[in-house]
Structure 1
Amino acid sequence: MWKASLRNVLAHRLRLLLSGLAVVLGVAFVAGSLIFTSTISAAFDKLFDEISADVTVSRATAFDSNVPGQQNGATTVPRDLVGTIAAVPGVEKAEGQITVEGVRVVGSDGKLVGVGGAPGLAINYPEEGSDDTVTLLRGRVPSNGDEVVIDSVSADKGGLDIDDRVRLLTPGPEIEATIVGIFKFGDTGNLGGATLTGFTEQRAHEILGSDDYTEITVDAASGQNLDALRDEIQKAIPSEYIARTKSEQADENASDVKEALSFLNIFLLIFAFIAVFVGSFIILNTFTMLVAQRTRELALLRALGASRRQVTQSVMIEAAVVGIVGSTLGLLSGLGIASLLRWLFEKIGIELGSQGLVIKASTVLTAYVVGIAVTMIAAYFPARRAAKVPPVAAMSDHVAMPERSLRVRALIGVVLFALGVLVLGLGLAGVSDQPAALVGVGAFGVLVGVTVISPILSMPFVRALGAPYPRLWGTIGRMSVANALRNPRRTAATASALMIGLALIGTFGVMAASINASVGKVVDKSLRAEFILLDESYTPFSPQIAERARETEGVKSVTQMRMTAVQIKGSTKSIAAISADSIGDAFALDFQDGDPGGLADRGVLIDDNVAEDNDWKVGDTIGVTWLNGTQMDLRVGGIYERNDMLGGYLVSLDTAAEGGTRPVDFFAFINTDDDADLQAVRERLEEGLQNNPAVELKDQEEYTDSVRAQVNQLLGLIYGMLALAVIIAVLGIINTLALSVTERTREIGLLRAIGMSRRQLRRMIRLESVVMAIFGAILGLIVGIGFGVSLQQTLADEGISELRVPGVQLIVFLVIAGLVGVLAAVWPARRAAKLDILKAIATH
């Protein structure tokens, strides 16, 4: 059976090619995702290993939080601990280190150096000029606060050199300094897109806003066991500080990066799953048709003594060969995808070092398991049906594969559909703390149910879609509809691949349109300020900017907003700190109880949802823990109706400062005098921002448009990824039509013999392709719109309050689906038209 199976693979290699391509594309995405995330993870592991000392002492935050710009202020280490640690036996040297986030370099062209989202870091540069982490390449170390050294990568990107004056944007004062040296970080200079500047220790303390250090680094004596030294240091320091070895500190530093990478990996793998899932329909269709075309051959094997098991094994061996070859090519293609992703990252400035791609054994194993398993599972059902062909069928001229009734399939599909609708309804009813998750599970059940019953749905759909065909193209049109109706299972399986892609496109389209509509409503309803100051990368900026704006002619008030996190009842909550005296100018707040004055004296304002969930009222006390461990009782001073721009908790700037929140702004909201000329005020405000390219001034409409642009950018990325599913669906249509041409060779020969022209034959196949593509697209868009509406309704309380269905956009996708049908039919139609009439008629 092995030889027969392998010969069949070689004999049908062209027919299996498109099926194999589906495996290749799916596995390529899986492998490429895993290879790329392994590569970037290894690059950052090496980066953090280079900067980690033998032992590092730091003060951990009271809890984990990803609020930018707040960690340094919450985790300083007293300078007097340096001497304590230096006295521990086994310590060769202990030094205080300062690292400040948010110090960004302005290049010679007036633009920011570095990658948006990557940190700008400042350090106290070592007086020796070089150490284990930095090497002075040219110039000298800074000797006073007016001098700075910068890393070589940033110098090249920013067009900067020694003796140049450079502007530096910091969370505190804006600095202009003279570059006195260029240094290299680590072995390669790779900072992953970040920038690094070095100051004197005194200047670094000023930028940090503290006389303490962010950490203390320890060089161990030669031969010293690091674990033992860590334990001795831990005994010598207070319990709120923690000592970590080199490897532990590297892991700690890399944890946030790896967490971000996990999101990227999940994002990529979701689309890989979609590609594999869609590809499984092509594989199922391919083997169903191949087995159907070989029914007499398989029956002959049964007549010669092959058992049902052996026939099944024969088909499964063919599937395994396709899976192995497809997985191998997919793994190689995955290297190309990972290389492309790496190139794209480097183009935007995120360097990953000089090491090659990292291919783990688990990645190779996953690629082969996915490719082979999906192929063999999809081929199993056709193989089982092939084994049921009776041996006597080999003696007949016409043999048909045994077909099961659609009744059982219809029952299973209806049950799955009903269960999906039930779960989806429970999500919409809000019976769970995570309704969106229930909606997602229900939507998946509905999608599977629709897929199962799609052969039944295909018949009325195809008849309706093909109704105009006879009037437009006469007999050719009637025959194309009849061909699509001939095998509902095949038509449904072919259309299902496209249906899944269009269902997801429809879902994201509805969600994006709803978010865009909701953003405008939120801003109109919640915001009173005429202008907003913000950093496009949502990096906090110096409060000096708000102070300058406050002094601008025509400005009535400036409301600063800072962000931090606290723990309440053991749960981490985001909290906004805001200017108490002007909150009413900037925001439309409807109070159910209390007023903005409730922010005074450690007061907190909460929205009505928070109050209801916790049964809090004005006058109640809320115990909170800040990032630096400070515990504080806040008094509820007011309850306001939900405002999506403010969140659920508000405190004053003074209260946040008591809790250790760093004085850096995320937003500044500007109100003008009643009689002010808005354009003139805007020009004066922009003049004050000329030296700070990071911060932008926007009016309400521009702010709304910027948020919408981010949504649309993400949507464009998602559409680009979903294009992979559409490409696989196109391969499915091509494959089905090509195999259908082979299956109908004799029929086509007869049609040509009685007068059908090649042009008419090509048109018949094209029309058949179009009706299948539009059937899948319509079904997918109907399901997708339903999912999108359900998600919007579920998330209405989370700020997505407006429902929008992008009708024009979805119609465009429907038209594109029709064009996909036309293009997919080109090669099969040309192949059919080239068949020799006499040879085709003689085919059995």
Structure 2
Amino acid sequence: MWHATLRNLLAHKLRLALSGLAIVLGVAFVSGTMIFTDTLGKTFENLFASTSADVNVEPASAFDSGLAGTGEGTGAASTVPESLVDTVRDVDGVAAAAGFVRTEGVYVLDGNGNVLDTGGAPGIGISWEPDPDLSSSTLVDGRAPRGAAQVALDVDSAEKAGYTLGDTVTVLTTGPRVQAELVGTFSFGDSGGSAGASLAAFETRAAQELFGTPGQFSGIGISTADGIAEETVRDRVAAAIGDGYDVRTASEQAEALAGDFEEGLAFVETFLLAFAGIALFVGTFIILNTFSMLVAQRTRELALLRALGAGRAQVTRSVLAEALVLGIVGSTLGLAAGFGVATGLRSLFGQFGLTLDGGLVFATDTVLWSYAVGVLVTLMAAYLPARRAAKTPPVAAMRDDHVSVERSLRRRTVFGGVLTAAGVAAMVGAFIVQDDGTAASLVGVGALTLLLGTIALSPVIARPFLRGIGAVLPRLFGTSGHLARENAVRNPRRTAATASALMVGLALVSGFSIIGASTNASVDNSLDQSLGADYVVSTAVAAPFSAEIAQEIRVIDGVESVTQQRFGQAQLGGVQTSVSAVDAATLDSAFALDYLTGGTEGLRGEGLLVDEDTAASRGWSVGDRVEALLANGERVELTVGGVYTTNQALGLAVISLDTFTAAGGEALDRFVYVDVAPDVDAAAVRSSLKATLDAYPVVTLKDQAQFADEQKGQVDQLLMIINALLGLSVIIAVLGIVNTLALSVIERTREIGLLRAIGMDRRQLRQMIRLESVAISVYGAVFGLILGIVFGTGLVQALADQGISQQVIPGGRMLLFLAIGALIGVLAAVWPARRAAGLKLLDAIATT
């Protein structure tokens, strides 16, 4: 039997190639995702481990607010006093200690005056530490900076900006604009990379002055004396300096940072593996079709083996052995192709500022999972055809007139009906429940169940649908059209399996298109209703920037009001909440607020404004007292002064800029809103604004329409990535149609020969196969679009409270997807049609 199995594999190389390619693509995405995420994790693990001293002292965060130790996203300016360094130095076991300064919002300009492109990664300013035991930077060329007129850059930034030693570098800090001589370049950490961020290093005193922290440090680095454990020094330092500080060893610091980072990384990995799963799911249809048709074509051969003494189990094992070999070969090639996928993902994420240094990480888990997934999917898809082959009676199968009896679709219809009903129930439930997370989960479950139900019912639906849309084929294309329609409905299971692959791909593409279009429409509607300012000043990624920009805009003739907006994290009444800080005096001119109770006056002093959902969920009303705890430990008693309808620009809660600053909030703006005075030359004011902002290339000036386009651009960018990843499933679907048609041509070789013998020419034959392919593709595309519309509209409704308030079905795009489905049918039929037309007439007739 093993000899027969090997012979069949070699005899059907071409037939198995397309199925093998589906496995290769699916496994490549699985292995590529795992290689990429392992590389991502290793990059930051090395970075975290190599950028910490033996023991580190940093301000304690009052609550978990993101990436531990960085202060990112907290909005609170947390520092340690310079005097604390002497206290730490006096601790027994401390060999050396030094304070360091680190802040975001420090950008390097290139020689043309443009902000150095980091793809969205932060610009970081640091202090230069000369002690190698305390420093995470290693000088590569030149010397250490001295004074505010000298700077050192990381090697990558200097190279990208085209700077060499001695050049004058312009640095935008959170305070003044600095012109400094480049005196040194350095590598960061053990790997030498900074994951895409740009680093500008100044002498410690200069860094304190430039970054607005005179007499303060971001933290203290400690090197331990020889022979004394880091844990011992950590405990002694913690006892000496008291509460209010986090004291960690290097390993604890790296572990804490890596732990928070892995939470975000888990989402990326799940996101990418979901697309790999889709690719494998779609590929399963190809493998199932391939083995079903191969077994059908070899019915007499397998029956002869049974007659010669082979048992059912042997026949089943023989077919599964072919699948096993195919799975192993496909998984091996897919594993190799995974490096290409990982390289592509690294390049793609590099465009968004996430630069991964060093080589790709190839772990044992990647190999095991790749083979497990590829082989198991192949064996599962081949099992049913193998069982059917084993059950065929040997004597009946060897008869020349044997015709396999089509099995009843009753069980499949019942099963598909139950799944479809369950999917509809889940979708209905999503509209009833109040919790957004539960609603989105129900939509996901409902969409998946509907998809599986439709796939199960597909053979039942295929015949009437194809006869309906195929009714025009005989009228337009005569005999070729009639035969194409009959071929498409001849084997509804095969047609359904072939169309299902395309249906899955287009369902997801169309669903996400609806979500993207609805989100963009919601952005337009939200800004129309929530924003009142004429212009917005911000970075493309809402990064923090210097408050000096707002001060310079205020003195421009024709500017009526300027509103600064800052963000932070706070616990309001014990619940962590994103807080927006604005100036109460100009709030109404910058934002269009609709108050249910209270008003803008309630923001003055230590007031608090909240949106209606927040007020309802926490039982707050105007006049209530709420305790606010910032990440730096500052506590403020606030009074609810107003409740407003949902406003996307302001968020859930608003406090005054004065309250935020007094509580230690960072003096960095995220948005600046500008109103132009009436009866002035608006064009002249805009020109003056642009001239002022030319000195700050990190920010741009946008009117409301341009600001909306910028926000929608981020949605479109994400949608482009999703559709590019989903494109893999569509490619596999095309391969599935090619595979089915090619095998169908082989199966119908004698029939094709007879058609040629009674007068059908090659052109008509090619036309027949093309029309059959188009009919199958249109069937898959139509039901894919229907499912996509159900999924997309359901998810938009479920996320209505998250800001997606507009329901948009892009009709033009849906028609385009339908046309693409038909085009896929035409392209998929090219090779099978040419193969059929190239068959020799007499040889085809003689085929048994």
Q: Smaller-chain TM-score range?
A: over 0.9
Aligned to 2:35: 35
Please, which of 388, 404, 407 is the counterpart of residue 404 of structure 1?
407
Distance 1:400 1:314, change over 3 A: farther
Cα distance in structure 2, aligned partners of 1:793 and 1:253:
37
Q: CA deviation at 1:129?
A: 8.8
SS in 2 for 1:94: strand
* Partner of residue 514 from structure 1, selected from 507, 518, 531: 518
- 1:319 paired with 2:291, answer no
Secondary structure at the aligned position of 2:770 is classed as helix
* Amino acid corresponding to residue 607 of structure 1 in structure 2: D
- Is the 8 Å Cα contact of residues 120 and 353 (structure 2) preserved in structure 1? no
Match of 1:367 in 2: 370
| Mean CA deviation greater in 156-165 or 308-317 | 156-165
Partner of 1:25: 25
- Distance in 2 separating the partners of 1:31 and 1:417: 33
CA contact (8 A) 2:120 2:352 kept: no
The 1:57/1:318 distance shift into structure 2, 3 A limit, reads same
Aligned residue for 2:586, secondary structure, equals helix
Q: Identify the residue that residue 753 of structure 1 maps to in structure 2.
A: 757
Q: Deviations over 1:556-596 (max 9, x none)?
A: 10111100011235432111001110101111111111111
Instruction: Identify the range of structure 1 (507-516 vs 383-392) with the bigger mean alpha-carbon deviation.
Output: 383-392
The structure-2 alpha-carbon separation of the partners of 1:351 and 1:504, relative to structure 1 and needing over 3 Å to count, comes to closer
- Of 679, 684, 687, the residue aligned with 1:680 is 684
What's the offset of the Cα at 1:348?
Answer: 7.0
1:788-827 aligned within 5 A: 788-827=792-831
Structure 2 SS opposite 1:532: strand
Q: What amino acid is aligned across from residue 111 of structure 1 in structure 2?
A: N
| Residue 204 of structure 1: aligned partner | 207
Q: 2:464 aligns with which of 453, 460, 470?
A: 460
Question: Aligned partner of 1:50: which letter?
Answer: S
Query: Per-residue CA shift, 1:234-276, capped at 9, x if unaligned?
Result: 3333233222222222233344544443333222212111101
Supply the distance in 2 between the matched residues of 1:171 and 1:826 (Cα, whole angstroms). 61
Once residues 134 and 90 of structure 2 are traced to their aligned partners in structure 1, the CA distance between those partners, rounded to angstroms, is: 22
2:716 is the alignment partner of 1:712: yes
Q: How many residues align?
A: 843
Instruction: Please give the alpha-carbon distance, in whole angstroms, between the structure 1 residues aligned to 2:410 and 2:238.
Output: 71
Number of the residue aligned with 2:111: 108
Displacement of 1:687:
0.7
Change (3 A) 1:299 1:338: same
Q: Return the offset for 1:456.
A: 1.0
Partners of 1:228 and 1:393 in 2: CA distance: 83
Cα distance, 1:571–1:286 mapped onto 2, change above 3 Å:
farther
Give the corresponding residue for 2:361: 358
How far residue 436 of structure 1 moved from its aligned partner, in angstroms, is: 1.2
Q: Distance in 1 between matches of 2:367 and 2:124?
A: 37
> What is the Cα deviation at residue 82 of structure 1?
2.0
Q: Does 1:584 align with 2:588?
A: yes
Moved more, 652-661 or 62-71: 62-71
Q: Which residue of 1 aligns with 2:63?
A: 63
Alignment partner, residue 670 of structure 1: 674
Rounded to whole Å, the distance in 1 between the matches of 2:575 and 2:287 is 48
Indicate the larger mover: 507-516 or 487-496: 507-516
2-structure distance, mates of 1:351, 1:585: 41
Aligned letter for 2:699?
A: V
Does structure 1 residue 330 correspond to structure 2 residue 334? yes
The question of whether the paired residues in 2 share the 8 Å contact of 1:88 and 1:236 is answered with: yes
Contact 2:97 2:134 in 1 (8 A): no
1:182 and 2:181 aligned:
no
SS of the counterpart of 1:580? coil
Contact 1:292 1:400 in 2 (8 A): no
Q: Is the CA contact (8 Å cut-off) linking 2:52 and 2:250 kept in structure 1?
A: yes
Match of 2:585, SS state, is: helix
Q: In structure 2, how many angstroms separate the alpha carbons of the residues matched to 1:156 and 1:71? A: 32
Matches within 5 A, 1:551-700: 551-700=555-704
2-structure distance, mates of 1:664, 1:46: 30
Q: Deviations over 1:19-69 (max 9, x none)?
A: 111000000001011111212222222223222211112223122324985
CA contact (8 A) 2:53 2:134 kept: no
For residue 198 of structure 1, what is the amino acid of its counterpart?
A: A
TM-aligned CA deviation for residue 492 of structure 1: 0.5
In the alignment, what sits opposite 2:391? 388
Q: CA deviation at 1:729?
A: 0.3
Q: Return the TM-score normalized by structure 2.
A: 0.96
Query: Which string of whole-angstrom CA distances, capped at 9 and with x for unpartnered residues, describes residues 101-146 of structure 1?
Result: 1111111111112413212111221246997532334444333223
Residue 508 of structure 2 aligns with which residue? 504
- Distance in 1 (CA, whole Å) between partners of 2:573 and 2:295 is 63
Shift of 1:400: 3.7
Structure 1 contact 689–695 (Cα < 8 Å) conserved: yes
For the residues of structure 2 that align with 1:229 and 1:7, how far apart are their CA atoms? 71
Residue 209 of structure 1 aligns to a residue whose secondary structure is coil
Q: Secondary structure at the match of 1:239?
A: coil
The one of 733, 737, 744 aligned to 2:737: 733
Report the alpha carbon displacement of residue 345 of structure 1 after superposing the two structures with TM: 5.1
Q: How does 1:777-788 map to 2 (within 5 A)?
A: 777-788=781-792
Equivalent residue letter for 2:13: R
Contact 2:165 2:183 (8 Å CA) reproduced: yes
Identity %: 51
Map of 2:498 onto structure 1 = 494
Instruction: Report the CA distance between 1:216 and its aligned residue.
Output: 1.1
Shift of 1:199: 1.5
Report the Cα distance in structure 1 between the residues aligned to 2:135 and 2:24, rounded to whole angstroms: 45
Q: Is the 8 A contact 1:295 1:401 kept in 2?
A: no
After TM superposition, give the deviation of residue 147 of structure 1 in Å: 2.6
* Paired amino acid for 1:100: T
Q: Does 1:763 align with 2:762?
A: no
1:835 equivalent to 2:835? Answer no
Give the C-alpha shift of residue 703 in structure 1: 0.7
Q: Which letter maps to 2:822?
A: G
Superposed displacement of residue 819, structure 1: 1.2
406-415 or 41-50: bigger deviation: 41-50
The whole-number CA distance in structure 2 between the counterparts of 1:569 and 1:604 is 12
CA-CA distance at 1:626 after TM superposition? 0.9
State how far apart, in whole Å, the 2-side matches of 1:59 and 1:150 are: 27
Q: Deviations over 1:614-668 (max 9, x none)?
A: 2211011222221112223221111111112111101001111233210111101
Residues 580, 655 of structure 2: 8 Å contact kept: yes
1:207-226 alignment to 2 at 5 Å?
A: 207-210=210-213, 211-226=215-230
Higher mean alpha-carbon deviation, 230-239 vs 359-368, is at 230-239
Secondary structure of 2:111's counterpart equals coil
Aligned partners of 1:74 and 1:661 also within 8 Å: yes
Residue in structure 2 matched with residue 429 of structure 1 by the alignment = 432
Distance in 1, matches of 2:201 and 2:414, equals 70
Corresponding residue for residue 439 of structure 1: 443
- Does the aligned pair in 1 maintain the 2:75–2:569 contact within 8 Å? no
Equivalent residue letter for 2:575: S
For the 8 Å contact 1:150–1:198, the answer to whether it is kept is: yes
Paired residues of 1:385 and 1:402 also in contact (CA < 8 A)? no
Give the residue type in structure 1 aligned to 2:79. T
CA contact (8 A) 1:73 1:208 kept: no
Per-residue CA distance 1:689-719 (angstroms, 9 max, x = gap): 1111110000011111111222222222222
Tell me the secondary structure at the aligned position of residue 306 of structure 1.
coil
Partner residue, 1:126: 129
Superposed displacement of residue 343, structure 1:
4.3
- Residue 233 of structure 1 pairs with residue 237 of structure 2: yes
* Paired residues of 2:134 and 2:222 also in contact (CA < 8 A): no
1:250 to 231, 248, 254: 254
Change (3 A) 1:800 1:342: closer
Query: Residues 333-382 of structure 1, C-alpha deviation per residue, up to 9 Å, x if partnerless?
Result: 001211233345567775433x3221111111110111011111111111
Pair 1:87–1:71, CA change in 2 (3 A): farther
Structure 2 match to 1:3: 3
